[in-house]
Amino acid sequence: MSVVPDTTTKITFTENNTLFNKDGVQFIINPYDELAITRGLELAEANSGSVTVVHVGPAENEASIRKALSMGVTDSIRIDALAIDAQFVAEQIAEIAHGYDLILTGRESIDYNGGAVCGLLGALLNIPSANVVTEINYADGTFSFTRDIDGGREMMSCKGPVVASAQKDLCEPRIPNMRGIMAARTKPLQIVSPKTIVNASQVSSYESPAPKSGVKLIDPSNAQELIHILRNELKVI
C-alpha cells in the first residue's frame, strides 16, 4: 500500500526543486491500492482467509494504515524506511511476502506512476504476475484474472502464490464503518526495519510542466475554422 497526495493536490517542490513540497498536502491511500485492499478482503471473506497490509514509509503514514485496518484488514506491517524507488519498495516487500497465496498492489501509485512493483515482486519471488487486472476470482486453488492488454483484455489463470496489480473496475472501494474504525485501533501494526539494498535509482531534481501560452478562441458559429487550422496550419489531421 502506498500513501500519496490527494488527487486534487497542486504539485510543487522545495529545496531548489529537489523535494516534493508536503506543505498543506492531504495524504490518502493510493486509489488503486484501495481497490486492491477491497478485493483482497472480499476474497479472504469468501474463503475464510485473512488480509495483511504492508506499507513502506515513515510513522507519519500510520493514519493510512489504520484506515486500511478499519476497512477490515486483519493485521499490518510498516517497513520503517522512506521509499526510494519501486525497486527499493519491491525488495522490502519481498522480504516479508513469503507464505501468502495472493499479493495485490495497485496498478501504479498516482505519485511516481512507476507501475513496476507488481512485476518486480513477481520476479523477486519467482511467481507469476498479472498486471492491470479488472477481475480476480478464486476456486479450487486456482486464481483467474481478467487484465487489460494493449488494445483489449486477456483472461489468464494460475495457481497461487501470484501477484496482481489492481485496475479501476476491479471493485468499489470499501468505506470503513464505525465498528471497523473502533476495531482498527487495537489491530496489530508490526514495525519492521528495512533490509539494506544497493540503490538502483535516485531522483536528483523535479520540474513542473511549462504553462500554456494562452488559448486562441474560435467563434462557435464558425467552428469549421478549427478544422482549417488543424489541417492546414498544424497539419495534425
Partner 1 sequence: MSVIVFVEIDNQQYKKSSLEAISYGKKIAQTMGISCIALSLDTLSDTATLGTYGADRVISLSHNAAFTSDNSAQLLADACKQLSAQIVVVSNTYTGKSLAPRLAVALDASLATNVISLPDTNGGFKVKRGVFSGKAFAYTDLSKSTKVLAITPNTFDIDNSGSSATVETLAVSAEASKISIDKSDKEMGKVPLTEAEIVISAGRGLKGPENWNLIEELADLMGAATACSKPVSDMGWRPHAEHVGQTGITIKPNLYVAIGISGAIQHLAGVSSSKTIVAINKDPEAPFFKAADYGIVGDAFEVIPQLIHALKN
Residues between 22 and 41 that touch partner 1 (CB under 8 A): 31-32
Task: Report if residue 129 touches partner 1, rule: CB under 8 A.
Answer: yes
Compute the radius of gyration of the chain from its Cα atoms.
21
Spatial CB neighbours of 66, under 8 Å, sequence gap ≥ 6: 184, 185, 189
Beta carbon nearer to partner 1, 139 or 155: 155
Query: What would the x/- binding string for partner 1 be over residues 208 to 227, using CB under 8 A?
Result: xx--x--xxxxxxx-xx-xx
**Coil, strand or helix at 56:** strand
Question: Which range binds partner 1 by CB under 8 A, 55-63, 70-78, 116-124, 178-186?
Answer: 116-124
Task: Report if residue 114 touches partner 1, rule: CB under 8 A.
Answer: yes
Q: Minimal CA–CA distance to 6: which of 24, 33, 28, 32?
A: 28
Q: Please, what is the minimum distance in Å from the beta carbon of residue 60 to partner 1? A: 19
Task: Report if residue 140 touches partner 1, rule: CB under 8 A.
Answer: no
Candidates 48, 193, 196, 204; binder of partner 1 (CB under 8 A) is 204
Beta carbon nearer to partner 1, 186 or 222: 222
89 vs 73: CA distance, rounded Å = 21
Task: Report if residue 138 touches partner 1, rule: CB under 8 A.
Answer: no
Candidates 16, 150, 178, 193; binder of partner 1 (CB under 8 A) is 150
Question: Which range binds partner 1 by CB under 8 A, 49-57, 70-78, 148-156, 183-191?
Answer: 148-156
Beta carbon nearer to partner 1, 74 or 138: 138
26 vs 179: CA distance, rounded Å = 25
| C-alpha cell at position 162 | 501470484
Candidates 153, 182, 188, 195; binder of partner 1 (CB under 8 A) is 153
Question: Which range binds partner 1 by CB under 8 A, 44-52, 67-75, 147-155, 188-196?
Answer: 147-155
| C-alpha cell at position 235 | 497539419
Inter-axis angle of helices 117-125 and 86-96, nearest 10: 40
Residue 58 — φ and ψ, nearest 5°?
-80, 170
Candidates 120, 136, 166, 184; binder of partner 1 (CB under 8 A) is 120
Q: Please, what is the minimum distance in Å from the beta carbon of residue 13 to partner 1? A: 7
| Contact yes or no for 56/83 (Cβ under 8 A) | yes
Question: Which range binds partner 1 by CB under 8 A, 46-54, 63-71, 117-125, 176-184?
Answer: 117-125
Q: Minimal CA–CA distance to 130: which of 94, 168, 91, 166?
A: 166
Q: Distance from CA of residue 168 to its chain's centroid?
A: 11
| Contact yes or no for 133/154 (Cβ under 8 A) | no
